[in-house]
Structure 1
Amino acid sequence: MDNNSRRKMIIEHLSNSTKPVSASFLAELFCVSRQIIVGDIALLRASEHNIISTNRGYILDDIMRKKHTRVFKVSHDEMRTEEELNIIVDFGGKILDVYVIHELYGKISAKLDLSNRNHVQNFLECLDGNANKPLCKLTDNVHYHTVEAESEEDLDLIEKKLVEGGFLIDEK
């Protein structure tokens, strides 16, 4: 792998990481010395990549990793929860939260952070129907999801699939 390819791969790896990445890890990943990686990072910074050094490794500044978010108002019965969540994650979305607007209590929300089918499955296993019920039970199945994606196009596709599935409520 040449130097430029390695540097592109470093940026790609940092942009996909949710936590700091150490120079030692990158060195092992690309089969070079730690000093080579330190030099690569210096060159990448000089070429206007906003890489931040932390005591645990390197991260890209959030400006470089800007995500797009959209809130979807949806409704379905409990039997279709898995289908709805899988549509979102299958088409590149990360479900940040779920919330309802309750007539008496106002907005009630819960953080979810579901980004793949395994996360969805783990969440569903916690909804046993007895003690743990979905928030939408408080509002006749109407609820909202804040969804994050890499692009507006991904969010548009998720919206289209939710409409096709009969999940999305049009607020217009």
Structure 2
Amino acid sequence: MTAGEARRARILDELRAAEGPLSGALLAERCGVSRQVVVTDVALLRGRGERIVATNRGYVLADAPASRPVRLFKCHHSTEQTADELTCIVDAGGRVEDVFVNHRVYGKVCSPLGVGSRRDVARFVDELASGRSTPLMEVTGGYHFHHVSAASEDDLDAVGRALAARGYLAEATPYERATFS
């Protein structure tokens, strides 16, 4: 095994063992190489079929085992309510795995999030505020979807109740439930 192959195996091991995203800088430090080498290694791993996703906080494996139940929530609110919505979810025991919209022209447009704590919420909202981008939901008038995971179905029920109590929960159509769940 070459040094590059061993490093790429280590990157996969690190991603499999991680409970959340790992930054390129952290992977570079753990492997003793530059961040650019990690970027190249990730590209090579993707090229051989590994499902590595780059999030705003680092790399994750897209096909990590789903040991937690996951539920689809359709939401609607203003951009200013984004932090409250995400905080509502994590406080009820949920982890926001992704956000996506169903655009009438582009179809499903999705981004992984991996938001599981108030700290993650603050980081995400700060990145939105400091960037030139707007939340994905703005292209659909505030309507968007989240896959939310939790330790139990009871926690997912609590997430649904909390979103409904704040008026953020929107009714998904039968088509949306069948297509996006």
TM-score range, shorter chain: 0.5 to 0.7
Q: Provide structure 2 residue ranges, at least 5 long, that are not aligned to the other structure.
A: 1-15, 19-63, 174-181
Residue in 1 aligned with 2:152? Answer: 151
8 Å contact 1:126–1:132 — kept in the other structure?
Answer: no
1:142 and 1:171 map into 2 onto residues whose CA distance is 10
Deviation per residue, 1:60-105 (Å, 9 max, x gap): xx88x72100010000001111110001001111100000000100
Partner residue, 2:76 = 75
Report the Cα distance in structure 2 between the residues aligned to 1:128 and 1:117, rounded to whole angstroms. Answer: 16
Which residue does the alignment assign to 2:87? 86
- Give the 3-state SS of the residue equivalent to 2:129 in structure 1: coil
The worse-fitting range, judged by mean Cα deviation, of 121-130 and 75-84 is: 121-130
Give yes or no for the alignment of 1:138 onto 2:136.
Answer: no
Residue in structure 1 matched with residue 168 of structure 2 by the alignment: 167
Q: Find the counterpart in structure 2 of residue 25 from structure 1.
A: none
User: When the two structures are aligned, how many residues end up with a matched partner?
Assistant: 113
CA distance in 2, matches of 1:129, 1:171: 32
Q: Name the aligned partner's letter for residue 128 of structure 2.
A: L
Q: Give the TM-score normalised by the residue count of structure 1.
A: 0.62
What are structure 1's unaligned runs of at least 5 residues?
1-17, 21-61
In structure 1, the partner of 2:17 is 19
Calculate the TM-score normalised by the size of structure 2.
Answer: 0.59
Per the alignment, residue 123 of structure 1 pairs with: 124
Pair 1:105–1:129, CA change in 2 (3 A): farther
Q: Percent same amino acid at aligned positions? A: 35
Deviations 1:104-141, CA, capped at 9 Å, x for gaps: 00000001000000001000011127611000010000
Runs of 4 or more consecutive aligned structure 1 residues displaced over 2 Å after TM superposition: none
CA distance in 2, matches of 1:66, 1:119: 21
1:141/1:129 Cα in 2 relative to 1: closer, same or farther (>3 Å)?
farther
Tell me the distance in 1 between the aligned counterparts of 2:117 and 2:86: 9
- Deviation larger for 121-130 or 131-140: 121-130
The structure whose Rg is larger is 1
TM-superposition CA deviations, 1:18-46 (whole Å, max 9, x none):
727xxxxxxxxxxxxxxxxxxxxxxxxxx
| Structure 1 residues 121 and 130: alpha-carbon distance in aligned structure 2, compared to 1, 3 A threshold | closer
Q: Distance in 2 between matches of 1:117 and 1:129?
A: 18
Bigger share in helix: 2
